[in-house]
Each structure stands twice: as structure tokens, then as C-alpha cells.
Amino acid sequence: MKLRGNVDLMRMRRGCGAFVAVCVLLAGPGRADAQPAAPKPAASSAGQRKWTGPADEQWLARAVEDELRRVSGRKQRDQLLGRLGKIALARIVCGRLKPFSGPTELVHAMQACKYLALLEKTKDGRELAEWLLGQGEIRRLLFRALGDVRSPEEALKVFRELQADDEQAVLGWPDLAVAFATAQVVRSPKKQPMPATVLESFGYYTDAERKFRYDIRKMPYELSRYLANTRLSLKERQWAYKKYFGMADPGAAYHHVPYDWDHYLENKPKLICEVEYSLENLDVIGGVCVDQAYYASEVSKAIGIPAVIVHGRGRSGIGHAWFTYFRMNTAGRRASWTGGAGRYVSQAYFTGDVHEAATNRRIMDSELSLVGSAALLPLWRREEAEAAVVLAKLAAGALEADPEAAADVAPLKQLAATYRDRFAADPAAPRLETKWIEVKRRLDMSLVEDLIDLAIDRNLAYTPAWVLIARLRGADRLPAERLDRFFDVLIKKTARAWPEHSCSMVLRIVPTLPDAGKREKVYKRCLTVYGRRPDLKGRILIALGDESRDAGQKKQAVRIYRAAAVQSIQVPGVVTDAAARAEKILLADNDRAAAIRLYQMLFTRTRKERAAEEIRRQTPRYKLGTRLAELLEAEGKGAAAKKLLSTL
């Protein structure tokens, strides 16, 4: 068999582009439209900017922009950050939360203070800070995106490298540049041959002569991170591009990799491990599921489709990998992450884990689906959702430091006075309007709740808003009686579209309710909403079992755990978890015989998988069987235990 070899990496010519308006309307899948020609750079100075928002509040955005330009150095920026925080609190107690453009501008200025200060303390950072001050739109994108990463310093370093190498490409593909700066390179299953550098990879996507399946110029950075996180060699990308660009469904590529059954069934070394780990060799030699998923995801990225490998366990309990990719209809009105290929229905892969692109942390694939859901939202809505959560945290923090903190609009009035002094003679500056600056509501937790409510209204899929609810409730700072408004949204509006995410948030919040009757009521309501999914039903039943256990109702707890295990027999994690909890109670009561009967009943409902022993050890049958054998041995039934182990 002749294998493909390596060739030298070649530097791809970059297409020159300039700044384009940020939007999220992408070309539909299957189209081969060329990237549009880049327009001339838009004027970016503060004096030429068209200020948005209510007419009586446009001066606020102009004022904070001016404040940003007047300070430098970490000390001054830290001082300004503190002032802007007080101004932001003053703005939200003025009562008007809709429209929310003014507070959003304040949040951006606060982010700018934080990250410009980071830049200015690094080598050559001051020059980039000055450049960003003159590029308002890409600055907003970058500073929003830095909130997602673990190391803003490293992200800024990458962005500086991109900007220094090709400023026009960065301006022409702003979201993509931000994606490259804030994406973590995903690990491949094996060492990639001749991986591309960040500049080479960026250049591949910014080559104006190359067509892609979607218009990458307009792809939000949250999505294009799943292009930016690959370092596949340019040679392999070109090979994949040529082979797959015209294919309507990239999911088919998953099955183009022959399956290595000898490895799966007999645990023999994988054939692909004996040669260079390239797409061309995978296409010829094959691999197992993770290699198929890697192949298909890299093929998708090569033709401009965001994609990611998904890991999960189905009814067999054996680890499996498939892939998912982003798909939008040709009208640009519906978008989602598809099931890709390899998510076999017969195996009941209810959930999977993916590596989130900004941090490489593992998240549920349902969380990834939220990114797709938000992709078509107007940018202002996504910005306002994020700003509302930032200000909710700010207000909650102020109240935690001083529960009696009073609303104070003095900082906002002081900013207005400064604006009057600086811009009274400037006809291009927005007119100063201050009649609305007065205290109209208290600085209290109800204001925090309204800010969270606004965030959810703007972007129902914005996870940090739901996480903040859980955190505040966990600290007993959000009144339990006020949770119904959020539960209703979770259960009525998110359960159908994102059941895993919705249910996980409910299960995170409910234990914080002080009243046991209320907790039980919510759990039972959840069973009616999520009960069609065996995995979710099992987790809710385990939570109900925990309630009975903690209340001292041991027999009832065991019954509920048993029901959770039986009704979720095809969900390995739930079966073993529920069985272990029931066993713990039974053994504490010296009822080993009941524990044995429980495991025998569950064991008979499983089946033996045809796979190498090392792989079978992952299955619930193997785990339940080995634990049953241990219990039999402890009961003095060594022969029965030995016979059972021989069947595993």
C-alpha cells in the first residue's frame, strides 16, 4: 500500500482587506460564494463616530470614549475603572433599563480600562493600546472576547502578533482575528505532521481568492473560534479542500475512514499509529471512532465550516467519539450545531462532551448548541445581555460589601458637568441631556434580578445569566420566593430547545431552596417536563432520592434510587450512580442481601458487548457485575462470585 508523504509547508498569500461592519448573516451551507471585496477602512475616530441609543443618552457614550482616550498607564486606568463602576451604578438606578445602550457603553469602557492596562505593562503593548483606541469596533469585539479566556495576556500577545504581521487582514476579518487570539488550539489524537503556525492558519482563511462554505468575514468570533483552534498543516487543508469542498454534507467524511476492527475487538495496535498521522493516511488506512471524528472535523474546518469532536457514552457505556458541525440554512434564518455523523441512534448517546474553544475546558455539547442559537441574534442584543450580567454582578458586589448602600447619581452628574465643559463648543458632539438623571429606584437585589431578567430577554441562551442566578441563590442572596419568574422561563422556554442545559440549571438551583416541600414540588414538575429523556429523568429521580435520604426516609430513598436505575438502564452514568447510592444505605443498615438483589436485578437487564476486554471494562454490565461479585464474596458466596466474574 502506497502512503502519502509530506511536502514542505507553503506560506499562503493573504488577501488584503479592511474593516467591515460586524454582522451575523452568513452564506448558506453548500454555497461556494467568494469572499466579498473589502470596503475602504471606516472612519474610526471618536469625533466622526455616529453615536447610537436614545438621543438624550448619546452624550454618555461620547463622554466615556473621551475618558478612555485621556488616560494611560495602569494607575490611571484603574482609577478610571473605579469611576466608571460608580457611574454605571448611578445610571442603572435612574430607572430606565430599556433601552440599554448607555449601560452597555459603560461596560465596554470598563473592559477597555482593564485590558488596555494589561497591554501597557507589556513590551510594545502601549503601541497596540493606542492602535486599539483608534479602532473602536474591533476593540469592542476583542475586549468582549477576552472575558471568555483564562489568560488575557496570552490572547493579547497572539492578537499583537496577528496585527503586526498584517494589519489590513486583521481589519478585514475582525471577528476571525479575535477568534484566533482567543481560541485554544485543540489537541489532535496523535501528533500532527508539520502543524501550521498561527499566522499561516490565519492566512489560510484570509486569502481573498479562496472560497469557503460560509462568509468567514461575517462569522461571529464565537463560531469562528471553531475554525481558529486547528493547526492542521496547509498541505492537508488543501488536500481536504480539494476533495470535499463540493460535498453537500461534510458528515459523510466521518465514514470515509475505514474502521480498525482488529483494534476494537482484539486490542491490537492501531495501524494508523505505524505511519504519519495525516488526513490522507487516515483516508487509506483507517482508525477508530476518535480518528473518524478528527478526520471529519478537520475536513469541515478546511472548507470553512466550524466543527468539533464530541465524546460520550451510550447505552453500552463504551467511550465513543463523533463530531458536530455548524449548519445554517440558505436563508440565514436558522442555525444550529448538527449531530454530524457517528452519533448512532441505537446507542442512545443522549449527551456528549466537547472542548470549548476559548479555554479547552470540557462542556456538554448542549452548551455548544447555545452558541449556535445566539449566532443569528443582532450584535446589540448579545452585547446588552453580557453588559446586563456584568452590571448585575457589580450591583450584587456593592450590596455584599454594604447591604445598606444607597443609590447615588452624583458620579453621573459629575461626568455630565465634565462633558459640558469639554464639548459645549463642538457642534458634532451629541447634545447634553440630563433631565433623566435622578434616583428612581433603590440599589437592591430586585434591581439585580431585573438586570438578569433583561439579560435573559436579550439572549435566552446566555449561560452566564443562568449561572449567576444559581450562584446568588446558592449564597442565599436571591430570595427563594422570587425564583418563580426564572423557573418559568427555564421550564417553559428553554426545556424544549436545550433540555440538557435547562435541566442542569434547574438541578443546580433547586437544592438551594430552603423549603423541602417546594424542592419536591419543583422536582416533580421537572419530571413532567423532562421525563421523556431517560438520562434527565434519572438525574431528577436521584435528586428526589437524595431529598428522601437527607430527610431520614431511607426506605423511600432506596425505592427512588432503584426506580432511577431501572428507568435509566440505558444511561450508564445514572445506573451506576443510583445503584451506589442505594447500596450505601442498605449496607449502612446491614442489609447486604437486599443490595445483592438490587445488583442482580440490574445486571440481568444489561448485555455483554462484543469488544476487547479492556474496552468492556467501561460498560455498566462489567461495573455492576464486578461490584455484585464483591458483595457475593463478602456474603460468603465465593463460588457464585467466581462464576459471575468468568462471564464478564
Write out pLDDT tens, residues 438-459. 999 999 999 999 999 999 999 9
Residue 599, CA atoms < 13 Å, CB-side half-sphere: 27
* Identity of the residue numbered 624: L
pLDDT at 341: 87
Residue 124: burial class (beta carbons within 10 Å; 0-12, 13-18, 19+): exposed
pTM comes to 0.86
CB 290 within 8 A of CB 227: no
Task: Report which of 268, 193, 200 is spatially closest to residue 614, judged by C-alpha positions.
Answer: 268
> pLDDT digits over 505-529, tens only?
889 889 988 889 989 999 998 999 9
> For residue 366, what is the enclosing H or E element?
helix 365-374
How far apart CA 477 and CA 396 sit, in angstroms, is: 9
- pLDDT for the residue numbered 478: 87
- Of 95-104, 322-331, 411-420, 561-570, where does mean pLDDT reach its minimum? 322-331
Contacts 24+ apart (CB under 8 A), 255-262: 255/292, 255/341, 256/283, 256/295, 257/282, 257/283, 257/286, 257/287, 257/291, 257/292, 257/295, 257/296, 258/285, 258/286, 259/286, 259/287, 259/288, 259/292, 260/286, 260/287, 260/288, 260/291
Low-confidence winner among 342-356, 365-379, 567-581 (lowest mean pLDDT): 365-379
Tell me what pLDDT residue 405 has: 86
Tell me, what's the pLDDT at 288? 95
Instruction: Please say whether the beta carbons of 221 and 145 come within 8 A.
Output: yes
Q: Model confidence over 110-150: pLDDT tens digits?
A: 999 999 999 988 878 889 999 999 998 899 999 999 999 99
Q: Which three cell numbers stand for residue 131?
A: 492602535
Q: Would you state the cell numbers that stand for residue 63, as one nine-digit string? A: 463622554
Hey, what amino acid is at 472? L
Is beta strand 362-364 parallel, antiparallel or unpaired with respect to 307-313?
A: unpaired
Rounded CA gap, 557 and 552, in Å? 9
Whose grid coordinates read 447615588? 408
The arrangement of strands across the sheet holding 319-328 comes to 335-337, 319-328, 307-313, 353-355, 362-364
Q: Quote the pLDDT of residue 49.
A: 59
pLDDT digits 0-9 by tens, 566-623: 999 888 889 999 999 999 999 999 999 999 999 999 999 988 888 888 888 888 899 9
Residue with cell 471494562: 617
Which among 357, 298, 352, 344 has a CA at the least distance from the CA of 325?
298
Per DSSP, the three-state class of 353 is: strand
Please say if the pLDDT value at position 344 is more than 60. Answer: yes
Q: How confident is the model at residue 33 (pLDDT cuts 50, 70, 90)?
A: very low
- Tell me: the pLDDT tens digits for 37-88? 333 333 334 444 567 778 889 999 999 999 999 998 889 999 999 999 999 9
Assess whether pLDDT exceeds 70 at residue 313.
Answer: yes
User: Which tens digits make up the pLDDT trace of 186-226?
Assistant: 989 999 999 999 999 999 999 989 999 999 998 999 999 99
Which has the minimum average pLDDT: 171-180, 342-351, 392-401, 577-586? 342-351
Q: What is the pLDDT of residue 523?
A: 92
- Kindly tell me if the per-residue pLDDT of 100 is higher than 80: yes
Say whether the peptide bond before residue 99 is cis (omega within 30 degrees of 0). yes
Quick one: which H or E segment has residue 309?
Answer: strand 307-313
Closest CA to 377 of 390, 364, 386: 386
Which tops the pLDDT comparison, 461 or 195?
Answer: 195
Pairwise pLDDT comparison (222 vs 248), residue with the higher score: 222
CA dihedral 611, 617, 623, 626 (to 10 degrees): 100
Distance, first Cα to last Cα, the chain = 38
3-state SS track over 400-415: HHCCCCCCCCHHHHHH
113 contact partners, CB below 8 Å, separation of at least 6: 68, 71, 77, 78, 80, 81, 84
Eight-class DSSP state of 380? H
Number of C-beta neighbours around residue 30 at 10 A: 12
**Backbone conformation region of residue 375, classed left if phi is above 0, alpha if psi is from -120 to 50, else beta:** alpha
Residue 467 CB: number of other CB atoms within 10 A? 13
Residue 10 has pLDDT above 60, yes or no: no
Task: Count the alpha carbons within 13 Å of 128 in the hemisphere toward its beta carbon.
Answer: 28
Mean per-residue pLDDT of the chain: 87
Confidence of residue 332 (pLDDT cuts 50, 70, 90): low
What is the rounded distance in angstroms from the CA atom of residue 559 to the CA atom of residue 124? 66
Contact present, 224 and 216 (Cβ < 8 Å) = yes
Return the pLDDT at 330: 62
The domains located in the chain, with CATH, are 477-647 (1.25.40)
**Has residue 488 got a pLDDT over 90?**
no
- Please, are residues 519 and 510 in contact by the beta-carbon 8 Å criterion? yes
Residue 15 has pLDDT above 50, yes or no: no
Statement: residue 18 has pLDDT above 80: no
Could you identify the residue written with the cell 469562528?
Answer: 224
State the DSSP H helix or E strand holding residue 609, giving kind and residue range, or none if neither.
none
Q: What is the mean pLDDT of residues 491-502?
A: 84
What are the distances in angstroms from CA 140 to CA 71, 181, 387, 408? 18, 14, 12, 28
Give backbone dihedrals phi and psi of 510, rounded to 5 degrees, phi first.
Answer: -55, -45
Q: Looking at residue 73, what is its pLDDT?
A: 87
Q: Which of 437, 450, 456, 503 is nearest to 478 (CA)?
A: 450
pLDDT bracket for residue 2 (50, 70, 90): very low
Percent of the chain topping pLDDT 90: 65
Report how far residue 105's alpha carbon sits from residue 376's, in angstroms, rounded to the nearest whole number.
Answer: 22
Residue 34, pLDDT above cutoff 60: no
